[in-house]
Amino acid sequence: MPWDMRSPKAALLVLVPVVLILAAGCGSSSDDTSSDSDSDVFRLGLEAPLSGEQAVLGEGMLKGAELAADQLNEKVGIEGRDVEIVPIDDAADPDTGVEAAETAIESGLDGVVGPYNSSVGEVTLPLYLKAGLVPVRLTSDTSTNGQGFTLQPMSDQIAPVASEALTDWLGARKVAIAYDPTPGYTLTVSKAVKSSLEKAGVEVTAYEKVKPGEDDYTDVVDKLAATDPDVIYAAVYFPEGGLIAKEMAAGDVEAQCVADYASYDTGFVDTAGIPAARKCPVVGVPAPEDFEGAAAHVSDYEDEYGEAPGTWSPYTYDSVNFLADGVEKAGGNDSTNLTKQLDAVKDWKGWTGSVTIDAPTGNRDPATVVIVDTDAEGNLHVDRSWAKAVGAPY
């Protein structure tokens, strides 16, 4: 099949809420608490899980944003103002996120990148919009469509790639699904994958809830394996996904393990261990060094931090630059003008490749969804056998 994330199946999986994108374009409200545009500093919030189970993911996000800010400041900043990244720690928790976002807004922000977790974004993105800000989010659930902009793939772009990989690449005829039932991305994508598989004539032998935050999922793995599937698909975040992969390998489960996009992070490998991770491909995005022309960006990051880029470092790096470019061209961060400018983006180039925005949703089209495997050193890269099978340009 041609490699095109604009799958017609995606149209069946999402009803775009356009009201919120209109809200983003309404200009500053009476509650606008963005910082004074005459200030010498452009305060740019970075909302991410900087503590808790997903902290390793959040730390990479923060460093990617800070690298972009440092490079902007070496030139002219944003409209001649030095860029200051303001960390906003939501700990991947909606209540924590609301408190952190409100505190950051009150302190004064000129822009915001994030959050990552869709369940958090559902409650924090409206706060930023109400404050007259235009978020560049990293959420992937379609419930956040229209609430600012994103360079990340969305669930309606991810599910077709996942289901087609299971059927066309792995040849699965029976699939068992484990899913995190928390409202947001994992629930949405698990339903979409299940529906897509069933429409393709695949038998979904089990659809099992996974309670996040547990130390052991052996019972879940045993229950899924007992249904004799060809593949066990884990639509969970990486702490749980890594444990499921580890327990499948330890139990010599015959079914092929595949982890959903929510598990895509180096934390998945750390939790599963390299041997188990190598037996469990992950739906994800290209590794930081997999993008065409990425060598210079990777080198800059390593020079700055003395370590390899985090999984989502390229996306926050690009998000900061994407927003900065939009502010420059819009002549400021007024939400109406900035939204119009970003709506019109076509073929913008960054670390993660070319970006064109779908104006009704604020989403990137086409998306950068791939299947990823783990190498012998524990590094995540595009799975070459998958890429060859589907004609992906990586």
Decide if pLDDT at 125 tops 80. Answer: yes
Q: Using alpha carbons only, what angle is made at residue 99 by residues 93 and 102, rounded to the nearest 5 degrees?
A: 130
* Amino acid (one-letter) located at 163: S
Q: What is the Cα 198 distance to its own chain's centre? A: 26
Rounded CA separation 329/327 (Å): 6
Does the structure show a pLDDT above 80 at 17?
Answer: no
Which residue ranges make up each domain of the chain? 17-153+292-360, 155-284+370-390
Q: Are the CB atoms for 45 and 124 separated by under 8 Å?
A: no
With a cut of 90, say whether residue 191 has pLDDT above it: yes
pLDDT at 92 over 50: yes
CATH number of 155-284+370-390: 3.40.50.2300
Sequence-ordered list of residues with C-beta below 8 angstroms from that of 190, at least 6 positions apart, any chain? 177, 179, 180, 207, 235, 260
| pLDDT tens digits for range 28-56 | 333 444 444 558 999 999 999 999 989 99
pLDDT at 166: 97
Name, in order, each residue with C-beta under 8 angstroms of 115's C-beta and a sequence gap of 6 or more.
Answer: 47, 48, 88, 90, 97, 121, 124, 125, 137, 138, 139
Which CATH class, in words, describes the domain spanning 17-153+292-360?
alpha beta
pLDDT in tens, 319-328: 999 999 999 9
Domains 17-153+292-360 and 155-284+370-390 share a fold: yes
71-85 as b/e, with b when 16 or more CB fall inside 10 Å?
A: bbeeeebbeebebbb
Asked if residue 170 lies in contact with residue 210, where contact means CB atoms within 8 angstroms, the answer is no
